[in-house]
């Protein structure tokens, strides 16, 4: 696949003489159906990652049955949602996982699923390699076992590498290696890239969020200000071809638009798609504005409600509110607002900042200022993730056995472009 950027260079038709509306403005008011969505099939997980967005571990006894999952897929087909990102928890531990995947692909709903690799056997790898409609994403948060296992747990690096070996041996190319950028792995970006190249895989780097158990690990894991710049420079170098055009050998899930304030926007939609172009269906059928906002404040409804998922997407009050074009609030006067748009709603919410204020990782430093200004009462009122499916025995925190270094300068200019998150897996082009 090639060419994955939103092009905005064509004048409009109906409004001859005036510029065409930008996609970002059209999307801001919402779509008839999501472009793609995240569907977490289970809260059950063999791991206990310290930054898990959904605080996964134990299965929720209310999770959707196989028949209910099929009904959701029927709706997605009718709504013409062409693609879902399946996650969890660890989705492959559901006994009906493959049944659900097969049902989706047989009903014109393509699947990309995220896994820690625990159920990827040579047989599964062969099956994945043979499918045109199923893509797999292996989660890995360190390019070395020490850095990865600190976040994802003992043995998780070995499990992921085993899965990648099986996939590569089966001839599966272009699978994704999905990395959450943290304070401890930003110095490993080139090593991640080399790892992806070794497996003919595609590197995907996304932003850490203070959601789920991430609320507890945020202060230890989120990139330091200098590292944000390092990450931005690396992403720019790896998402731009020699001719300046965007290329897509490194994907970002459109998650770093707050970094656009450093200069040029990274390829992607550069819009918070929550409730507008994306949403999350959780294992019990609750529909949230985005995968990073599992909290009652962002719950729009449930697929079991009368009207189903379609009703939630099209008529929920919450989503209607989110589709009102946003105002910049305290950020309006900032020169970078046009590109960063105030950053991530969930990151603000779970750090106690107002939704119309700066992102906690605002590269201009306004987020740090706003965080410093929170008083004791504000801090006490910071919303807590309101669900916890964690295993009841948790891993003891251990010191991080790494030093923070800078990425070595790249000897060759790697070519790549970001994935437009809501549009993960798509080649995106505006034709009119």
Residue 20, Cβ neighbours under 10 Å: how many?
Answer: 17
What's the closest the beta carbon of residue 242 comes to other proteins, in angstroms? 22
Residue 145 burial (C-beta neighbours within 10 Å; 0-12, 13-18, 19+): middle
Residue 343, Cβ neighbours under 10 Å: how many?
Answer: 28
Cβ-based nearer residue to other proteins, 80 or 369: 80
CB 318 within 8 A of CB 300: yes
Determine the Cα–Cα distance for residues 4 and 153; give it in Å rounded to an integer: 35
Taking CB under 8 A as the rule, does residue 430 contact other proteins?
A: yes
Stretch touching other proteins by CB under 8 A, among 7-15, 42-50, 211-219, 374-382: 7-15
What's the closest the beta carbon of residue 76 comes to other proteins, in angstroms? 12
Taking CB under 8 A as the rule, does residue 17 contact other proteins?
A: no
What's the closest the beta carbon of residue 313 comes to other proteins, in angstroms? 13
Task: State which of positions 19-58 bind other proteins (CB under 8 A).
Answer: 20-21, 23, 26, 29, 31-33, 35
When binding is defined by CB under 8 A, the residue of 42, 80, 180, 231 that contacts other proteins is 80
CB 196 within 8 A of CB 188: no
When binding is defined by CB under 8 A, the residue of 59, 68, 71, 82 that contacts other proteins is 82
CB 54 within 8 A of CB 294: yes
Stretch touching other proteins by CB under 8 A, among 78-86, 92-100, 211-219, 234-242: 78-86
What's the closest the beta carbon of residue 4 comes to other proteins, in angstroms? 9
Contacts by 407-410 with C-beta closer than 8 Å and gap 24+? 407/186, 407/187, 407/188, 407/189, 407/190, 407/230, 407/234, 408/190, 410/190, 410/237
Taking CB under 8 A as the rule, does residue 425 contact other proteins?
A: yes
Strand partners, 342: none
Half-sphere exposure (Cβ direction) of 193: Cα atoms closer than 13 Å: 23
Taking CB under 8 A as the rule, does residue 110 contact other proteins?
A: yes
Stretch touching other proteins by CB under 8 A, among 17-25, 66-74, 221-229, 369-377: 17-25
Q: What kind and span of H or E run contains 234?
A: helix 225-238
Stretch touching other proteins by CB under 8 A, among 77-85, 147-155, 303-311, 362-370: 77-85
Contacts with other proteins by CB under 8 A lie at 1, 3, 10-14, 16, 20-21, 23, 26, 29, 31-33, 35, 80, 82-83, 108, 110, 423, 425-432
């Amino acid at each position: 696949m090639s060419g994955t950027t939103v092009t905005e260079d064509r004048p409009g038709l109906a409004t001859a003489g005036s510029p065409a509306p930008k996609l970002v403005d059209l999307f801001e008011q919402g779509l008839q159906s999501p472009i793609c969505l995240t569907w977490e099939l289970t809260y059950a997980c063999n791991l206990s990652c310290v930054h898990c967005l959904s605080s996964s571990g134990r299965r929720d006894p209310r999770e959707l049955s196989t028949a209910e999952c099929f009904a959701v897929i029927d709706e997605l087909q009718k709504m013409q949602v062409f693609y879902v990102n399946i996650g969890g928890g660890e989705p492959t531990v559901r006994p009906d996982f493959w049944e659900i995947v097969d049902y989706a692909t047989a009903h014109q709903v393509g699947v990309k699923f995220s896994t820690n690799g625990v159920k990827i056997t040579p047989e599964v790898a062969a099956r994945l390699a043979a499918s045109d409609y199923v893509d797999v994403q292996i989660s890995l948060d360190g390019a070395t076992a020490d850095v990865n296992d600190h976040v994802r747990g003992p043995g998780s690096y070995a499990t992921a590498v085993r899965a990648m070996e099986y996939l590569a041996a089966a001839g599966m190319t272009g699978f994704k290696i999905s990395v959450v950028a943290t304070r401890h792995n930003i110095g490993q970006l080139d090593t991640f890239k080399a790892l992806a190249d070794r497996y003919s895989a595609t590197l995907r780097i996304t932003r850490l969020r203070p959601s789920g158990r991430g609320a507890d690990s945020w202060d230890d894991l989120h990139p330091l200000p200098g590292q944000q710049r390092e990450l931005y420079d690396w992403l720019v170098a790896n998402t731009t071809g020699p001719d300046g055009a965007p290329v897509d050998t490194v994907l970002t899930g459109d998650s770093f638009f707050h970094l656009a304030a450093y200069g040029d926007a990274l390829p992607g939609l550069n819009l918070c798609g929550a409730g507008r172009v994306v949403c999350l269906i959780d294992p019990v059928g609750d529909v949230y504005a985005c995968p990073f906002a599992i909290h009652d404040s962002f719950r729009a409804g449930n697929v079991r409600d009368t009207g189903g998922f379609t009703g939630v997407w099209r008529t929920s009050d919450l989503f209607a509110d989110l589709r009102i074009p946003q105002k910049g609030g305290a950020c309006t006067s900032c020169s970078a607002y046009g590109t960063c748009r105030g950053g991530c709603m969930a990151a603000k919410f779970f750090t106690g900042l107002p939704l119309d204020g700066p992102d906690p990782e605002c590269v201009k430093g306004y987020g740090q200022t706003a965080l410093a200004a929170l008083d004791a009462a504000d801090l006490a009122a910071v919303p807590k993730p309101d669900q916890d499916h964690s295993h009841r025995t948790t891993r003891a925190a251990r010191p991080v056995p790494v030093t923070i270094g800078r990425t070595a300068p790249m000897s060759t200019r790697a070519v790549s472009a970001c994935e437009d998150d809501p549009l993960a897996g798509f080649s995106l082009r505006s034709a009119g």
